[in-house]
Amino acid sequence: MALNNALANLQARVSQCDSLIANAHKVDATGVAFLPQVDRQQITVAAFLNFFVAWESFIEDALTNLMAGSPTISGTYPTRYVVPASQDAAKTLVIGINRYFDYANHDNVRRIVSMYFQNGYPFEPHLSSISLDLSDLRTMRNASAHITSTTQKALEALAQRIFSTPRAGVDLYSLLTAIDPRSATGGTVYTESRDKMLTAAALIAKG
């Protein structure tokens, strides 16, 4: 089942990201980390980027399979406004006359699903409910790919909004591994983002 496979693939890839981060922070019997700080930082940031790419891949896979006529996991068939002959044809339709479609831009994704499916189902209302989280993820994703004055300012603004205090010079690793004050379970910024994305993906796939 296409949507079941898409969700399972996302969950497996995210689990691998979690494993990378956990292994990077292992310590010996005396509490000394096996890896130096710079390695822990790079592995964590790389794992986060992999997580973000896995989310993008899930959205593309779910969107184009549903466009091509696949049901949700619950067996519901969304009302389609387009009827491509295959998933590959659906991918071409999404790209249109552009060179590619930016699945990292959640505003564009929301526009596409509202154009191709009645009421954007099954992507809506779930994408709208995590719109701010998706914006935050994109800010962190941009910081993971390249640090410029623009991406650094955006990262600092995000950190200030999360922690309610200025965080001048904050780096992505420090942000991802910090305890998120909004968390009810004491999770980090990374784990809170991960859990929200996995929940949204499950709701979308199940329909």
CB neighbours of residue 61 within 10 Å: 21
Copy the structure tokens of residue 206. 């199940």
Between residues 98 and 146, the one the model is more confident about: 98
Mean predicted confidence (pLDDT) in 158-174: 95
The letter for the amino acid at 20 is L
Residue 150 has pLDDT above 90, yes or no: no
Mean predicted confidence (pLDDT) in 174-194: 96
**How confident is the model at residue 146, as a pLDDT?**
78
What pTM does this model have? 0.95
Identify the CA nearest to 18 among candidates 57, 39, 48: 48
Copy the structure tokens of residue 169. 């010079």
What are the Cα distances from residue 69, in Å, to 58, 65, 96? 17, 6, 19
Distance (Å, whole) CA 93 – CA 83: 10
Domain count along the chain: 1
Distance (Å, whole) CA 10 – CA 16: 10
Match 């009810």 to its residue by tokens.
184
User: For residue range 57-116, what is the model confidence (pLDDT) as tens digits?
Assistant: 999 999 999 999 999 999 999 999 999 999 999 999 999 999 999 999 999 999 999 999
